[in-house]
Amino acid sequence: MIGLIGIVISLMLLMYLAYKGFSVIVLAPLLALFAVAWSGLSNELLGFYSQVFMTGLGGYIIKYFPLFLLGAVFGKLMDDSGSAQTIANFFVDKLGHRRAMLSIVLSCAILTYGGVSLFVVGFAVFPIASALFKELGIPKRLIPAAIMLGALTFTMTALPGTPAIQNAIPMPFFNTDLYAAPGLGTLASIFILLTGMWWLNKRLAQADLNKEGYGNHVEMHVETKLVKSNPSLIIAFAPILIVIITNLVLTKLILPSLDTAYLATDKFGNTSLNSVIGLWAIICALVLACVSIIVLNWKAIVDIKDSIQQGVSSSFLPIFNTASEVGYGSVIASLAGFIILRDFLVGIAPNNPLISEAIVINVLAGITGSASGGLSIALNTMGETYKNLAIEHGISQELMHRVASMASGALDSLPHNGAVITIITLCGLTHKQSYYDMFVVAVIIPLIALCGVITLGTLFGSF
C-alpha cells in the first residue's frame, strides 16, 4: 500500500508540474525514480533509470519515430506549398457564409484525416476563421472549439483509417490495422460530428440572441511562410488522397500478399505481419505523399530543403515528450504497488474488459494531458493483460483497438493539455473565454460516443 501511495503522489505531481509548464522530458524520469524511492528501492535507482526507464523510452522511439517524423514533414510541406490554405478556402467558398462554422470544422477534419498535424491545421485555418467570424459577427471565442471538433476528436481516434498516432499505437498490441472496427468507428465519428455541430450552432444562436457579436479583440499576427502561389484544389487534395488510398491498398491488398515468413526468424524479432502491417502501410503512404507534394509543388515551395528540415526538427520534441511518458509508465508498471492498482482497475468490470480499458486509458490521458502519452502508458503496462482478457471473454481485438483509441481522446483535453493551450494561445484568447465549449465538444461528446461504442460492441460485437 505504501508503494501505491507513492505512485499516486508521483502521478499527481506529473500532472500538476506539466500543467505549470515544466518539461515532461525532465519530469518523467525524476518522478518515476521518486516512486521507486518511495517504494523502498533507493539502492536500485540507477538500475531502474538505465534498464527500465530508458528501455521503455527507446522502445517507443524505435517503433513510432517514423510516424512522428513523416507526419511532421508531410504537414510542413502541406503548409509551405499552400495546399492546406487552398483546402480551407475551398470549404469556406463552397459552404458559404451561412455555414461558416461547418466550413471551419470540415477544413480541420479533412486536413487532419489526411495526415496534417494539428499545429499546421491551426495556423492554416485560424486566419480564415477569424476573418469569416468577424465579418459575420460570430463570437471569436467559438473558434477554438470549432478547430478542436474538426482536428482533435473523431479524425484523431474514431474514423477508420486515420493516420493519427492515437490510431496507430494500439495496432501492435492487438495485431490490428488502422481500419479496426470500421462500422463502430464510422458511427462514432458521425455522432461526434453531428452532436458537436449541434452544440456549436446552439451556442451561436444564444450569442445572436444576446447580440454578442465577434467581440473586441486585439488580433494576433499569425506569421505565414511566403508561398509563390497557392496550388489548385486538385493538386492540394492529391497528397491527402494518396495517404488515404495508399494506406488502404497496402493494408488490405498488397502487404498481405507478400511472403513475409522471414519475420518469424530471430533476425527480425520473431514477429508476424499482423503486428507490423499497419505501421508499414502508413509509413509507405506518408513517404509517397511527401514525394508527391514536392513533385507537384516544385516551383511553389520557396525552399524545399528548409521545409523538410523544419519538419524534421519539429518532430523531435513531440516524440521525446511521449516516449518519456512511456518510460515513466514502464517504471511504474514494474513496481509492486502498481499490481494493486492494476488488479483494482481490471476488476472494475471483471466480465467486460472494454469498460476497464476505457477507464484506465481515459484516466492516464487526463493525468498526463496527452492522448498518445496516456494511451502508450496504459498499453505498455497493461496491453498484454487486456489482450488476454479479450480472448478469454470472446471480445474482438479490433473492438479493443477502437475502444483504446477513442478512450485516449476524451479526458486528454483537460485544461492542461498541450493542444488546448496551443489553440487558445494561437487564437489570442483565454481558458475563461473559450474552454467551456472546447470541453463540451472534445471531452463530453467523445465520452458519450465512447460509451455508445462500448455498448454496441458488447451487444453486437465488432463490425
User: Does 220 score more than 70 pLDDT?
Assistant: no
More confident residue, 303 or 153: 153
* pLDDT value of residue 299: 85
Residues 121 and 340 sit within 8 Å (Cβ to Cβ): no
Residues 48 and 36 sit within 8 Å (Cβ to Cβ): yes
Kindly report which listed range (35-44, 220-229, 318-327) carries the lowest average pLDDT score.
Answer: 220-229
Separation CA 73–CA 59 (nearest Å): 22
Phi, psi torsion values for 178, nearest 5 degrees: -65, -15
The three-class DSSP label of residue 160 is coil
Question: What's the one-letter identity of residue 10?
Answer: S
* pLDDT value of residue 439: 96
pLDDT tens for each residue of 264-304: 999 998 988 988 888 899 999 999 999 999 999 988 888 89
Separation CA 110–CA 355 (nearest Å): 30
Separation CA 391–CA 12 (nearest Å): 33
Separation CA 177–CA 375 (nearest Å): 16
* pLDDT value of residue 97: 67
**Cell numbers for 437:** 465549449
What DSSP string runs through 97-147?
Answer: GGGHHHHHHHHHHHHHHTT--HHHHHHHHHHHHHHHHHHHT--GGGHHHHH
Separation CA 48–CA 41 (nearest Å): 9
- DSSP code of 250? I
* pLDDT value of residue 395: 96
Of the spans 11-15, 81-85, 152-156, 335-339, which averages the highest pLDDT? 152-156
Residues 286 and 243 sit within 8 Å (Cβ to Cβ): yes
Residue 153: name the closest of 143, 167, 170 by CA.
Answer: 167
- DSSP code of 142? G
Residues 108 and 154 sit within 8 Å (Cβ to Cβ): no
What mean pLDDT do residues 2-28 have? 83
Where does the pLDDT of residue 444 fall: very low under 50, low under 70, confident under 90, or very high at 90 and above? very high
Residues 412 and 118 sit within 8 Å (Cβ to Cβ): no
pLDDT tens for each residue of 171-213: 999 999 999 999 999 999 999 999 999 999 999 999 999 999 9
Residues 289 and 74 sit within 8 Å (Cβ to Cβ): yes
What mean pLDDT do residues 72-100 have? 86
Separation CA 444–CA 442 (nearest Å): 6
**Cβ-count burial of 94 within 10 angstroms (0-12 exposed, 13-18 middle, 19+ buried)?**
exposed
User: Does 435 score more than 80 pLDDT?
Assistant: yes
Of the spans 179-183, 219-223, 413-417, which averages the highest pLDDT? 179-183
Residue 235: name the closest of 183, 294, 177, 296 by CA.
Answer: 296
Separation CA 12–CA 104 (nearest Å): 36
User: Does 223 score more than 70 pLDDT?
Assistant: no
Residues 116 and 73 sit within 8 Å (Cβ to Cβ): no
Q: To the nearest whole percent, how much of the chain has pLDDT over 90?
A: 58
* pLDDT value of residue 352: 93
Separation CA 456–CA 373 (nearest Å): 27
Where does the pLDDT of residue 228 fall: very low under 50, low under 70, confident under 90, or very high at 90 and above? low
Q: To the nearest whole percent, how much of the chain has pLDDT over 70?
A: 97
User: Does 221 score more than 90 pLDDT?
Assistant: no
* pLDDT value of residue 99: 87
The three-class DSSP label of residue 267 is helix
Where do the H-state alpha helices sit in 163-303? 165-168, 171-174, 182-209, 233-249, 255-257, 273-296
**Cell numbers for 414:** 483537460
Where does the pLDDT of residue 225 fall: very low under 50, low under 70, confident under 90, or very high at 90 and above? low
Where does the pLDDT of residue 227 fall: very low under 50, low under 70, confident under 90, or very high at 90 and above? low
pLDDT tens for each residue of 158-167: 999 999 999 9
Residues 365 and 375 sit within 8 Å (Cβ to Cβ): yes
H or E element, residue 74: helix 54-80
* pLDDT value of residue 440: 97
User: Does 91 score more than 90 pLDDT?
Assistant: no
* pLDDT value of residue 459: 96
Question: What's the one-letter identity of residue 231?
Answer: P
* pLDDT value of residue 127: 83
User: Does 237 score more than 80 pLDDT?
Assistant: yes
Mean of the per-residue pLDDT values of the chain: 89
**Cell numbers for 406:** 477513442
* pLDDT value of residue 204: 94
Residues 92 and 126 sit within 8 Å (Cβ to Cβ): no
* pLDDT value of residue 254: 96
The three-class DSSP label of residue 27 is helix
* pLDDT value of residue 377: 85
Separation CA 317–CA 73 (nearest Å): 14
**Cell numbers for 449:** 460516443
Residues 70 and 95 sit within 8 Å (Cβ to Cβ): no
pTM for the model = 0.82
